[in-house]
A and B are shown apart, each in its own frame.
Chain A
Amino acid sequence: MTVVETPADTVELTEPVIHDEDGPGMSWSGRIMLMVPTLVLAVFFLGPFALMLRTSFYRRIQGGFYEPAFVLESWSRLGSDFYIDRALFSLRICLFVAAVTVMFAFPFTWFLTRMKARYQVPLLIMILAALTLSEVIVAFAWDLILGRASGISNIMVWLGLMSEPQSYTPGYWAVCIGLAYIAFPYCVLTLYPALSRIDRELTEASETLGASPLRTFFNVVVPLSRTNLVAAFLMVFVFTLGSYIIGQVLGRPEHWTLSVFISDQATYNSNVPFAAAIAMFLTAVSLAIVGVTTWLGSRQGRARQKAVAV
Chain B
Amino acid sequence: MLTESEIDLRTGASEASATESSVTENLVLERVTRRFGSVVAVDDVSLQVPSGQLVSFLGPSGCGKTTLLRLIAGLDNPNAGTIRLAGEDITKRPAHQRDIGMVFQSLALFPHLDVRRNIGYGLKIRRTEKAVVATRVAELLRLVDLDGLADRQVSQLSGGQRQRVAIARALARNPAIFLLDEPMSALDANLRESLQVELRLLQQQLGITTIMVTHDQREAMTMSDVIVVLNQGRIEQVGPPLEVYRSPKTAFTAKFLGATNLLRGRSAGRASVKIEGRLFDVPPTGDFRAVGADMTISARPADAELEIVGSDSDDRAPNRLPGTVSFVRDLGATFECFVDVGLAEPIVVQGGSRDLASGPRLARGDVVRVHFPMASCVVVDDPERV
Contacts and interface: CB of A to CB of B under 8 A. Distances in A.
A and B bind: yes
Interface of A: 199, 201-202, 204-213, 215-216, 219-220, 223-224, 308
Contacts of B14: none
5 contacts: A202-B110, A208-B98, A209-B101, A210-B96, A216-B96
B283 to A, nearest CB: 46
B173 interface: yes
B110 A220 contact: yes
Interface stretch (B44-52, B118-126, B132-140, B359-367): B118-126
Contacts of A208: 73-75, 95-96, 98, 100-102, 170, 179
A207 B96 contact: yes
Given A208-B75, A223-B112, A201 B122 contact: no
Nearest to A208: B102
Contacts of B109: 205
Contacts of A219: 121, 125
A308 B96 CA distance: 31
Contacts of A216: 96
* Size range of the chain B interface in the assembly: 20 to 34
B106 interface: yes
A198 to B, nearest CB: 10
A88 to B, nearest CB: 35
| Shortest beta-carbon contacts, A-B, top 8 | A209-B122, A205-B108, A201-B108, A207-B95, A208-B102, A201-B104, A210-B125, A223-B112
Given A204-B104, A209-B172, A220-B110, 4 more contacts: A201-B106, A201-B108, A207-B95, A211-B125
Contacts of B97: 210
A209 B173 contact: yes
Nearest to A223: B112
Interface in B56-115: 73-75, 94-98, 100-102, 104-106, 108-112
Nearest to B73: A208
B178 to A, nearest CB: 11
A207 B75 contact: yes
Given A208-B102, A209-B122, A211-B125, A308 B156 contact: yes
A201 B110 contact: no
A204 B95 contact: yes
A80 B121 CA distance: 55
A199 B108 contact: yes
Nearest to B126: A210
B153 interface: yes
B116 interface: no
A205 B102 contact: yes
Nearest to B172: A209
A220 B124 CA distance: 13
B121 A206 contact: yes
Interface string B163-178: 0000001101100000
A179 B153 CA distance: 40
A280 B179 CA distance: 61
A224 B112 contact: yes
Residue among B97, B108, B110, B170 with the most chain A CB within 10 A?
B108
Contacts of A223: 112
A206 to B, nearest CB: 7
Contacts of B96: 207-213, 216
Name which of B95, B100, B172, B179 has the most chain A CB atoms within 10 A of its CB: B95
Contacts of B111: 224
A201 B105 contact: yes
B108 A202 contact: yes
A204 B108 contact: yes
Nearest to B76: A204
Given A201-B104, A204-B75, A205-B102, A210 B110 contact: no
A113 B110 CA distance: 19
A310 to B, nearest CB: 9
Contacts of A207: 74-75, 94-96
A213 B125 CA distance: 12
A209 B169 contact: yes
A219 to B, nearest CB: 8
A204 B100 CA distance: 12
A269 B179 CA distance: 73
A207 B101 CA distance: 10
Given A199-B108, A205-B104, A210 B94 contact: no
Nearest to A205: B108
A204 B95 CA distance: 8
Given A210-B96, A224-B111, A199 B106 contact: yes
A114 B98 CA distance: 22
A47 to B, nearest CB: 43
A241 B96 CA distance: 43
Nearest to B102: A208
Given A220-B110, A223-B112, A209 B104 contact: no
